[in-house]
């Protein structure tokens, strides 16, 4: 099994939703022995869209062939109805230098604000993880990014739980920091009451290395992913229900870390951490998250004037935030469809809005929002290194706002059933639709009745 970062390109028309076009690209161009683990549209030029993707290449007799051969993006499911309770999905992409959430848990206040306006929020570890800190609100569900994509594609339901038994994987490269990891586990057990007593050392080094994409995103690669899957399977036989991992990330220079702290480039480790947790989520359908061991010990400055990164300076293993998140992370349940899902699960039908940075509309969450006609709240104030905004994507469901303060107001209105147009001025008058031009269609009662389909 091999991890590769690859680029794809497809012709972008507007006769179909973006999600269908992207799926068609993978159906046509993705080799049969490959799985798209992570991907996003990063540019649209001259009628063609460019995709940056992290792809898994696997053998035809691979042990997990059935899981690899199921490509969720090729069969997305649409939201069937607006269920209750009302959920918001908060997305802060990793590796793209988000102004909110691109550092060390600095997206948590914005996430908690959204949680105060919704019945609950579904988000991923990058939005709330901050070394020893994880201050997410009680109604925030902690779902790994790959599983969150599959949730939004209609393939997974979420089962809320009170607690999970967590197993921890330790990269052998991080052996010098093992005491710090074990002390974190024991502190979480004795102070917070988290079930996290089991840990395992990988048989071989994971080989976690940073890489940069052409657009300046932090992507990375893992040289020995098989050892990760083997160790996860081993801990699952010991009864764990969630997996956390710690590993040393290679290739970060002093200059890179300095530029990250100054807000010039993304966190170098952001993308590669997602690869690790995505691998576990894809194969085993369990909650997962990752923390970097202090790969930067020799390059890290001892003082920063950037408050957004300060949480990195109060921890060695950076792992307690993962344990706190995974301790109550919802279980992941495969579902057959969205027309009549199990009543005890949260599904895509509960999602009333998805919140993303305004320049990151090329990822699965934004494309799934368009596909299911879910309001996509695009926050301009959270800038990134990307430039995929709605001027480029031209999606009809986008509600652009200046800040997360404004986003929370939009969520409140949607949850309350108040039309957004009624809260803006000027307000347009009622519109006359010419039925003669729209034509006549056969009604459900068998009679010819006027039928007009209006699109936003």
Q: Read off the pLDDT of residues 198-228 as tens digits, 9 standing for 90 and up.
A: 999 999 999 999 999 999 999 999 999 999 9
Q: CA of 320: how far to CAs of 81, 196, 209, 314, in Å?
A: 38, 11, 23, 12
Q: Which residue has the tokens 């998140």?
A: 325
Residue 451 has pLDDT above 50, yes or no: no
The DSSP symbol for 216 reads: S
Evaluate whether 379 touches 102 at the Cβ level (below 8 Å): no
Helix pair angle (108-117, 404-416), 10° resolution: 20
What's the confidence (pLDDT) of residue 298? 60
- CATH 3.30.1490 placement within the chain: 2-74
Q: Which residue has the tokens 């060390």?
A: 104
What is the mean predicted confidence (pLDDT) over 97-106?
92
Of the listed ranges 80-84, 191-195, 287-291, 299-303, the one predicted with least confidence: 299-303
Evaluate whether 78 touches 154 at the Cβ level (below 8 Å): yes
Percent of the chain with pLDDT strictly greater than 90: 82
Residue 109 has pLDDT above 70, yes or no: yes
Burial class of residue 346 (count of CB atoms within 10 Å of its CB; 0-12, 13-18, 19+): buried
Give 326's contacts (C-beta < 8 A, 6+ positions apart): 142, 164, 166, 242, 243, 244, 287, 288, 289
What's the confidence (pLDDT) of residue 448? 45
Work out the pLDDT band at 438, boundaries 50, 70, 90: low
Work out the pLDDT band at 439, boundaries 50, 70, 90: low
Strands 2-11 and 331-334: unpaired
Residue 301 has pLDDT above 70, yes or no: no
Q: Is 169 helix (H, G, I), strand (E, B) or coil?
A: strand
Residue closest to 114 by CA, chosen among 354, 305, 281, 282: 354
Separation between Cα atoms, residue 126 and residue 336, nearest integer Å = 29
Residue 447 has pLDDT above 70, yes or no: no
pLDDT tens-digit series, residues 241-284: 999 999 999 988 888 888 888 889 999 888 899 999 999 999 99
DSSP alpha helices (H): ranges in 301-455? 320-327, 364-371, 390-393, 404-416, 435-438
Give 100's contacts (C-beta < 8 A, 6+ positions apart): 92, 106, 107, 110, 357, 379, 381, 382, 404
Give 241's contacts (C-beta < 8 A, 6+ positions apart): 164, 165, 166, 286, 287, 331
For residues 97-117, one letter each, b for 16 or more C-beta atoms within 10 angstroms of the residue's C-beta and e for the rest, the string is bbbbbbbbbbbbebbbbbbeb
Work out the pLDDT band at 115, boundaries 50, 70, 90: very high
Residue closest to 104 by CA, chosen among 305, 228, 351, 270: 270
The DSSP symbol for 360 reads: B
Q: Which CATH code fits 2-74?
A: 3.30.1490
Q: What pTM, to 2 d.p., does this model score?
A: 0.93
Separation between Cα atoms, residue 120 and residue 116, nearest integer Å = 8
DSSP string, 367-392: HHHHHTT--EEEETTS--S--B-HHH
pLDDT tens-digit series, residues 314-338: 777 889 999 999 999 999 999 999 9
């Amino acid at each position: 099994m091999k991890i590769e970062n690859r680029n794809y390109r497809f012709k972008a028309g507007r006769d179909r939703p973006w999600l269908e076009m992207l799926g068609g690209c993978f159906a046509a161009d993705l080799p049969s022995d490959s799985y798209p683990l992570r991907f996003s549209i990063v540019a649209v030029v001259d009628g063609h869209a460019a995709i940056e993707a992290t792809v898994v290449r696997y053998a035809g007799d691979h042990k997990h062939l059935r899981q690899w051969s199921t490509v969720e993006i090729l069969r997305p499911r649409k939201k069937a109805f607006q269920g209750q309770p009302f959920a918001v999905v908060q997305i802060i992409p990793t590796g793209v230098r988000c102004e909110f959430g691109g550092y060390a848990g600095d997206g948590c206040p914005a996430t908690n604000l959204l949680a105060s306006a919704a019945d609950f929020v579904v988000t991923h570890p990058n939005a709330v993880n901050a070394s020893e800190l994880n201050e997410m609100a009680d109604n925030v569900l902690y779902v790994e990014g790959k599983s969150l994509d599959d949730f939004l594609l209609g393939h997974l339901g979420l089962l809320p739980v009170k607690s999970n038994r967590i197993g921890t994987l330790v990269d052998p490269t991080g052996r010098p920091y093992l005491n710090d990891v074990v002390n974190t586990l024991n502190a979480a057990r004795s102070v917070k009451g988290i079930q996290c007593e089991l840990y395992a050392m990988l048989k071989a080094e994971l080989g976690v290395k940073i890489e940069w994409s052409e657009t300046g995103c932090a992507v990375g690669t893992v040289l020995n992913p098989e050892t990760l899957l083997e160790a996860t399977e081993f801990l699952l036989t010991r009864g764990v229900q969630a997996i956390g991992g710690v590993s040393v990330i290679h290739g970060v220079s002093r200059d890179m870390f300095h530029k990250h702290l100054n807000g010039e480039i993304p966190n170098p480790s952001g993308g590669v951490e997602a690869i690790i947790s995505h691998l576990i989520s894809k194969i085993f359908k369990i909650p997962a998250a990752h923390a970097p061991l202090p790969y930067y010990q020799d390059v890290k400055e001892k003082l920063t004037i950037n408050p957004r990164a300060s949480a990195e300076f109060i921890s060695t293993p950076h792992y307690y935030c993962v344990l706190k998140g995974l301790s109550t992370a919802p279980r992941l349940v495969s579902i057959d469809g969205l027309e009549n899902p199990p009543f005890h699960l949260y599904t895509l039908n509960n999602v009333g809005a998805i919140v993303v940075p305004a320049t990151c509309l090329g990822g699965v969450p934004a494309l799934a929002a368009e596909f299911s006609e879910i309001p996509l709240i695009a926050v301009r104030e959270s800038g990134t290194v990307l430039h995929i905004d709605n001027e480029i994507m031209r999606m009809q469901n986008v509600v652009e706002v200046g800040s997360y303060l404004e986003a929370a107001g939009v969520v409140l209105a949607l949850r309350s059933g108040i039309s957004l147009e009624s809260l803006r001025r000027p307000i347009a008058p009622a519109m006359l639709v010419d039925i003669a031009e729209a034509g006549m269609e056969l009604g459900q009662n068998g009679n010819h009745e006027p039928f007009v389909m209006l699109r936003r």
